[in-house]
A and B are shown apart, each in its own frame.
Chain A
Amino acid sequence: MTYTAWIILTAALVGLSCGIVGVFLILRKTAMMADAISHTVLLGIVVAFIITREVSGPAMLIGGILAGLLTAFFVQWLHTLNVQHDASMGIVFTTLFAIGVILIATSVGNAHLDVQHALMGEITFIPFHTITIPIIGEIPEAAGLLLLVLVVVLFFIIAFYKEWKITSFDPALAASLGIPVLFMHYVFMGLVSITTVASFDAVGAIMVVAMLITPAAAAYLWTDKLLIMLVLSGTFGVVSSIVGYYIAAWIDTSISGSMAFATGLVFMVSFFFSPKHGLVSKYIRPSKVA
């Protein structure tokens, strides 16, 4: 495959997995947890690097999951101590992120990891770091990692589809039926973490938030069915990444920035033109009061 094809494929994988995970972030009203986790996984990645002394996929994944869960746990814990939910999020993620930044500056300081890369990603270099997988052959490591994460995410979402739905819609009923709501919350935060870590190399910590939240928020405007929302959100993610790549190639600018910009475009189009909740359709035919 060509250099460009690998970049587009990697970007599309980011869009797809982020789009799917993002749906439940929106529905569980924890969109800003994505922001928190996308920053704190940096700490997990740095610590994984300090321990293993290499930038390897699996170690980074584990580090990222631990950092993500730690974030979720601290936020929950501060909240039970009567700190406001949004405030506890702000406190936890900035602190953990700062530790990551300090560690990069003091103990890691080499070419593999730097803050700029962590925030913005460097998708143009993706095709240079390849790994060899049996049968498939040589593929970029980031693409391999994303593929693995996509499979894991799809497995969890499909296998526990009912449980995600009920714990998102009505946690009190779910708990009274014996579904472990808090445990599911942490599993979900784990999924957010691995998606973020895998997307990290490609689009960086800031842009991954755009990929997680915006396609899902756009999909929410188009449909009243959860399944369709998932499919739409994944599609929007993929479309935004491809469109973003071509915007970047066209005006010669940052790829991850253009991808995030493209998600914004998709949202804007949805906001104005979606048949169910769009501004235009509301103007043309005022919604009936049931």
Chain B
Amino acid sequence: MAKTLIEVENLSASYRKNTVLHNVNFEVKPGTLTGIVGPNGAGKSTLIKTMLNLHPALTGKVSFFGLPFPKVKKRIGYVPQRGSVDWDFPTDALDVVTMGLYGQIGWLKKTKEKHRKQALSALEKMGMKDYADRQISQLSGGQQQRVFLARALVQNADIYFMDEPLAGVDAATEQAIMTILKELKSIGKTVMVVHHDLQTVENYFDHVLLLNRTVLHHGKTERVFTKENVADAYGGNMRWMGGERQYELHSFK
């Protein structure tokens, strides 16, 4: 068994006075691609943010490579939800990707030609090279998400956290993003993705973390992603449609 890479112990967090996460415990092995799945309001985004010190934890401990987050933040990449930023900001795609390098460039230093090249090749990888000079509000939702992915790639991190990268994107972008995620996994990176589409979980992720305020089930997809476990996470608020793997969900906020 490989060593544990991410360790979360007894984590809890609240959001606007409501406890949204309590007693969260799990471990993640290196080189895995984990889907974080759960109903709306289950605390999926809060979990990621709390692990990355972007949201205060009430209790608990998170360690990466056996170290607390501040010591390893350069090795961790984060892709926020696309809707979390203002796409009317006066900047272009290349510039947004270059922002992923700001941590490495450091204070008081300017971005150089080599950083620009790195950003450009990340955009190329996401099939967005032709859009480098495009103002970001002029990009479609899928293209904006690719820019975000390119920005994460350029960070060259060891662990990636992505918040709903497949939400509201076109089919081609979904394919492009999944290709990249599998490629990241194949070169030994560890990726955790907040995901909402239950139909694709089995195809996309080798591990699943079923979350509803706490970790209900976590492990290899084929073992954990069963009807019973999913129903458990969604509070039984679901109806099985037709075939074995067709679900329709009714989740409450």
Q: Does A225 sit within 8 A of B, measured CB to CB?
A: yes
**Chain B CB within 10 Å — which of A162, A179, A225 has the most?**
A162
A168 contacts across to B, CB distance below 8 A? 89
Q: Say whether A169 contacts B89, CB under 8 Å.
A: yes
Contact A169-B73, Cβ < 8 Å, known A82-B16, A162-B105, A290-B139: no
Choose from A159, A173, A179 the contact partner of B108 (Cβ within 8 Å): A159
Q: Say whether B90 contacts A177, CB under 8 Å.
A: no
Q: Say whether A169 contacts B86, CB under 8 Å.
A: yes
Choose from A27, A174, A176 the contact partner of B76 (Cβ within 8 Å): A176
Q: Does B138 sit within 8 A of A, measured CB to CB?
A: yes
Which residues of A160-178 are within 8 A (CB) of B? 160, 162-163, 165-166, 168-170, 172-178
- Shortest beta-carbon distance from A71 to chain B in Å: 24
- Shortest beta-carbon distance from B90 to chain A in Å: 5
Q: Does A229 sit within 8 A of B, measured CB to CB?
A: yes
Which of B5-13, B95-103, B219-227 makes up part of the contact surface? B95-103
Binary flags per residue of A210-238, CB closer than 8 Å to B gives 1, else 0: 00000000001001111011000000000
Which residues of A162-201 are within 8 A (CB) of B? 162-163, 165-166, 168-170, 172-179
CA distance A179 to B104 in the complex (A): 11
Q: Does B84 sit within 8 A of A, measured CB to CB?
A: yes
Closest B residue by C-beta to A227? B90
Q: Does B246 sit within 8 A of A, measured CB to CB?
A: no
CA distance A223 to B88 in the complex (A): 11
B100 contacts across to A, CB distance below 8 A? 173
Contact A223-B90, Cβ < 8 Å, known A162-B105, A173-B78, A290-B139: yes
- Shortest beta-carbon distance from A159 to chain B in Å: 6
Q: Say whether B86 contacts A172, CB under 8 Å.
A: no
Q: Say whether B103 contacts A177, CB under 8 Å.
A: yes
Q: Say whether B91 contacts A225, CB under 8 Å.
A: yes
CA distance A163 to B106 in the complex (A): 10
B140 contacts across to A, CB distance below 8 A? 290
Q: Does B43 sit within 8 A of A, measured CB to CB?
A: no
B105 contacts across to A, CB distance below 8 A? 162
Closest B residue by C-beta to A226? B90
CA distance A229 to B95 in the complex (A): 15
B85 contacts across to A, CB distance below 8 A? 169-170
CA distance A178 to B78 in the complex (A): 12
Choose from A29, A179, A220 the contact partner of B102 (Cβ within 8 Å): A179
Q: Interface size bucket, A side?
A: 20 to 34
Q: Does B135 sit within 8 A of A, measured CB to CB?
A: yes
Contact A173-B99, Cβ < 8 Å, known A159-B108, A162-B111, A178-B74: yes
Binary flags per residue of A12-30, CB closer than 8 Å to B gives 1, else 0: 0000000000000001010
Which residues of B1-55 are within 8 A (CB) of A? 16-17, 49, 52-54
CA distance A29 to B86 in the complex (A): 10
Choose from A172, A177, A225 the contact partner of B73 (Cβ within 8 Å): A177
Q: Say whether B86 contacts A224, CB under 8 Å.
A: no
CA distance A144 to B44 in the complex (A): 54
**Chain A CB within 10 Å — which of B49, B105, B108 has the most?**
B108
A159 contacts across to B, CB distance below 8 A? 108
CA distance A177 to B155 in the complex (A): 10
**Chain B CB within 10 Å — which of A166, A169, A179 has the most?**
A169
- Shortest beta-carbon distance from A80 to chain B in Å: 10
B134 contacts across to A, CB distance below 8 A? 290
CA distance A179 to B108 in the complex (A): 12
Choose from A160, A176, A225 the contact partner of B107 (Cβ within 8 Å): A160
Question: Hey, which bits of chain A sit against chain B, CB under 8 A?
Answer: 27, 29, 82, 159-160, 162-163, 165-166, 168-170, 172-179, 220, 223-226, 228-229, 290
A-B contact pairs, 30 of them (CB 8 A): A27-B86, A27-B89, A29-B86, A159-B108, A162-B102, A162-B105, A162-B110, A163-B102, A165-B91, A166-B99, A169-B85, A169-B91, A169-B99, A170-B80, A172-B49, A172-B80, A173-B78, A173-B100, A174-B102, A175-B52, A176-B77, A177-B103, A224-B90, A224-B91, A224-B92, A224-B135, A225-B92, A226-B90, A290-B138, A290-B139
